[in-house]
Amino acid sequence: MANTVDLHAAKLFDVKNYVCVVTGGGTGIGLMSAQALAANGAKVYITGRRLEALEKAAKSHHPHQGGQIIPLGPCDVTSKEDLGKLCDELASKEKHINLLVCAAGISGAKAEPTEEEATSLKDKLWNNETFEIWNQTYNTDVTSVYFTTVALLPLLQAGTESHGHLSASVIVISSMSGIMRDSQGHFSYNAAKGGTVHLTKLMSAEFQKVRIRVNSIAPGYFPSEMTAKESDDRMKSQLPDEKIQEKGHVPMGRAGHDEEMAQAVLFLTKCAYVNGEIIAVDGGVLNVVSGR
């Protein structure tokens, strides 16, 4: 039974001495996750395909005290060879990891299904999408999550052994798009994110055998290179309120803030009684747009 002093937020969400790995950690939600963890004492390795972006992110957002953000890579998470090298490098530096955040992802092709005549609808969808684009989107958003997690299972299990039962975990960044029925003109992306959601549930059930939790954050609109198409010199993106308001289905009327993503990441990192959950951090979109 906890004393009142044990319920102070600084203690509840303290990740001092945690070792974390964030894929896609140089920009967007991956970088937000890395910042949240490092700000609360963790050593955070970020990886991605662009070493320059990783180094710039680490330099721009390294905490003044406590934790660390350390670039590692480059690594293409759709390559078993790259993932193998990543694991070897991590194992040479650390005896365990406590958290893996799978944040790498791509958006795929876009084709709005607005036509009401079948031939026109077919032409738009047929000509704007390909098997190659669908496969690339699925490989990046689903398959890579599986193989990244599998590759790091031994280090994660060692993390549980160092901190207690089911303490080590994986946070998969899925999307509200994988829960809703609106295609948003992104059939390949939304279908892939639906796969990511279910993969989270599969891994959470199967990997509790090795005492590792798996949960997912399903974000709504957050500023990232995917949503804003660019980053600034600090590897941050901007998503103006009016861009969100013109969508007409976001009750909050704005994009999510870094602090709100940080709160979700820290909660799932520390609350060992949560396993297999998909937490939508979407500003209420799924109350407006139909879901499952």
Task: Specify whether the CB–CB gap between 170 and 156 falls below 8 A.
Answer: yes
Q: What is the pLDDT of residues 138-196, one digit of tens each?
A: 999 999 999 999 999 999 999 998 776 668 999 999 999 999 999 998 999 999 999 99
Domain CATH number, residue 41: 3.40.50.720
Q: Is 199:280 a contact under the CB 8 Å cutoff?
A: no
Distance from CA of residue 251 to its chain's centroid?
Answer: 23
pLDDT digits (tens, 9 = 90+) for 186-222: 999 999 999 999 999 999 999 999 999 999 999 999 9
Note whether residue 261 is domain-resident. yes
Q: Which residue in the list 56, 138, 169, 193 is annotated as catalytic?
A: 193
How would residue 66 be classed by pLDDT, with cut points 50, 70 and 90? confident
Boundaries of domain holding 241: 8-284
189 labelled catalytic: yes
DSSP string spanning 57-101? Answer: HHHHH--SSS-EEEE-----TT-HHHHHHHHHHHHHH-S--SEEE
Does residue 290 fall inside a structural domain? no
Decide if 289 is inside a domain.
no
Q: How far is CA 130 from CA 110, 137, 171, in A?
A: 11, 11, 30
Rounded distance between C-alpha atoms, residue 208 and residue 141, angstroms: 22
- Determine the Cα–Cα distance for residues 27 and 223; give it in Å rounded to an integer: 9
Cα–Cα distance between 13 and 67 in angstroms, integer?
13
The verdict on whether 193 is a catalytic residue reads yes
Mean pLDDT, the chain, whole residue set: 93
Of the candidates 189, 221, 224, 237, the residue annotated as catalytic is 189
Residues 174, 188, 224, 237: which is the catalytic one?
174
Provide mean pLDDT across the span 106-118.
91
- Give the pLDDT confidence score for residue 109 in this predicted structure: 85
Between CA 217 and CA 177 the distance in angstroms is 12
Name the 3-class secondary structure at 242.
helix
Say if CB 135 and CB 192 are below 8 A apart: no
Are 180 and 286 a contacting pair, CB within 8 Å? yes
Provide the pLDDT confidence category of residue 227 given band limits of 50, 70 and 90. Answer: confident
Residue 42 CA to residue 195 CA, distance in Å, equals 30
**Alpha-helix runs per DSSP H in the chain:** 9-12, 28-39, 51-61, 80-93, 118-128, 131-138, 144-151, 153-163, 187-207, 225-228, 241-245, 258-270
From the list 97, 79, 103, the residue with the least C-alpha distance to 265 is 103
| 174 flagged as catalytic | yes
Q: Which two tokens stand for residue 226?
A: 């995917």
Is 176 a domain residue?
Answer: yes
User: Number of folded domains in the chain?
Assistant: 1
* 52, 30 Cβ separation under 8 angstroms: no
- Predicted TM-score (pTM) of this structure: 0.95
Q: What angle do CA 136, 280, 169 make, to 5 degrees?
A: 75
With respect to residue 270, please indicate whether it lies within any of the assigned structural domains.
Answer: yes
The answer to whether position 120 is within a domain reads yes
